[in-house]
Amino acid sequence: MSAPTTGLVASGAWVIDLQFQEQAGVIASYALDTGDGLALVDVGPGSTLGALEAGLAGHGASLADVRHVLLTHIHLDHAGAAGTLLERVPRARTYVHERGAAHLSRPSRLLASAAQIYGDQMERLWGEMRPIEPDRLTVLSGGEGLRLGQLEGQALATPGHAVHHLAYHLGDDLFVGDVGGIRLDARQTPRAPTPPPDIDLPAWRRSVEVLRARDARTLSLAHFGSYPQEAAHWDGLLDTLERDAALVGEGLGAGQGLEEITERFTEHLFADLEAQAPGLPERFGFACPPWMSVQGLARYWGRAAARGGSEGTRGEEG
């Protein structure tokens, strides 16, 4: 299988494979040497903290070297280990969007919401999420310049996947979290992860336009790896986002239940993935289970209907 970049990327960062549920190439963290310790972009869930440590050790580093934890958003697969890391590394700080900061300091509501979905699988999947003291958070709204040691960059507000989503332009790299889509193989067309509760298609399109206009050489995705900053990546992501949203919207309009819609959605998704890279559907399911994408898109369409708006099958607002 053709793998994405898993070594050095343009700005001097390296990709750490967090081996989520013992699956390679599903969740990534990125480490950069700032000249003032390490910066990590996303740290994964608490359940993969050991893999993060091992990945750092493979480059002659350790958690003690971390000074900056840049979170694209606070979902458990990106931010779950942040509190534990900061407890172990007193000199480290976390950077997060202002609409996600309170959940890091008081994660009980976030964890209760996740528990409604994952039940008794919470510990196995995500491990522990520890609170972070507010005075150890650098709270961002997007647009701020960043100076991390000798590394300069910018935080970018990029909602669509989550209202509190940020991307980071550091050096020649764009670290795009989930708004850049899921792409587990160089041959795969990017797919948008659309879990509830914050999916917003118009906001996602605007975020894509912001990111594609940046003067960067490399896109670094949480799921998974680094790819060239090319129009083909963004065009493919928007195309599949619109097709996935239309499939769910059409099913709801026809009176189908979520179970029926999910079955059809999964069939189409997995057929596309298998045609692009044999064996890919199984690994993709670990990055974003199809039923979660259906639920998020169904919630989006429901909220759009409640607002009295209408969107066609291509997702254009009426």
Instruction: List, for residues 184-238, the tens digit of each pLDDT value.
Output: 999 999 999 999 988 999 999 999 999 999 999 999 999 999 999 999 999 999 9
Average pLDDT, the chain: 90
CA distances from 51 to 16, 40, 98, 177, 199 (A): 8, 14, 28, 19, 30
User: Which of 236, 266, 287 marks a domain boundary?
Assistant: 236
The answer to whether residue 317 is domain-embedded is no
Q: What is the mean pLDDT of residues 237-244?
A: 97
Let me know if residue 276 belongs to a domain.
Answer: yes
pTM, two decimals, is: 0.91
Q: Is there a domain that residue 9 lies in? A: no
User: pLDDT of 262-276, one tens digit each?
Assistant: 999 999 999 999 999
Q: Would the pLDDT of 35 be above 80? A: yes
Q: Does 276 share its domain with 133? A: no
Side-by-side strand order, sheet with 225-228: 145-148, 151-157, 166-170, 173-177, 218-221, 225-228
Indicate whether 273 and 169 sit together in one domain: no
Last residue of a domain, one of 214, 236, 258: 236
| 225 and 100 in a common domain | yes
Q: Containing H/E element for 292?
A: helix 290-306
Q: Taking Cα atoms as reference points, which of 141, 224, 144 lies closest to residue 180?
A: 224
pLDDT at 107 (0 to 100): 84
pLDDT over threshold 70, residue 295: yes
In a domain, 216, yes or no: yes
| pLDDT tier, 18 (very low <50, low <70, confident <90, very high otherwise) | very high
Q: Do 205 and 254 fall into the same domain?
A: no
Q: Are residues 109 and 37 in the same domain?
A: yes
| 153 and 266 together in one domain | no
What is the number of structural domains in the chain? 2
**Residue that terminates a domain, selected from 195, 221, 236:** 236
Could you tell me the pLDDT band of residue 8, with boundaries at 50, 70 and 90? very low
Interacting residues of 133 by C-beta distance below 8 A, sequence separation 6+:
86, 105
Instruction: Kindly state whether residues 176 and 199 are assigned to the same domain.
Output: yes
What pLDDT score was predicted for residue 193? Answer: 97
Q: What pLDDT is attached to residue 309?
A: 54
Range of the domain at 256: 240-306
What pLDDT is recorded for position 114? 80
Residue 316 in domain: no
- Is 113 within the bounds of a domain? yes
Please indicate, yes or no, whether residues 252 and 288 belong to a single structural domain of this protein. Answer: yes
pLDDT at residue 255 greater than cutoff 90? yes
The verdict on 134 and 232 lying in the same domain is yes
- pLDDT for 277: 92
Q: Check pLDDT > 80 for residue 250.
A: yes
Coil, strand, or helix at residue 268?
A: helix
Task: Please list the residues that pair with 17 across neighbouring strands.
Answer: 28
Pair 116, 98 in one domain? yes
Q: Are residues 143 and 42 in the same domain?
A: yes
315 pLDDT above the threshold of 50: no
The pLDDT, as a whole number, for residue 1 is: 41
Looking at the predicted structure, is the pLDDT value of residue 310 above 60? no
**Same domain membership, residue 138 and residue 253:** no
Q: What pLDDT does 10 receive?
A: 44
Structure tokens at 57: 């050790």
> Is the pLDDT score of 93 beyond 80?
yes
Residue 7 in domain = no
pLDDT at 3 over 60: no
Residue 167's domain is classified under what CATH number? Answer: 3.60.15.10
Give per-residue pLDDT as tens, 106-158.
888 888 878 777 777 877 878 788 999 999 999 999 999 999 999 999 999 99
Q: How far apart are the first and last CA of the chain?
A: 42
Provide the pLDDT for residue 9. Answer: 52
Element (H or E) spanning 152, and its range? Answer: strand 151-157
Tracing tokens 């650098």 back to the chain, one arrives at 138
Rounded to an integer, what distance in angstroms lies between the CA atom of residue 310 and that of residue 95?
36
In a domain, 2, yes or no: no
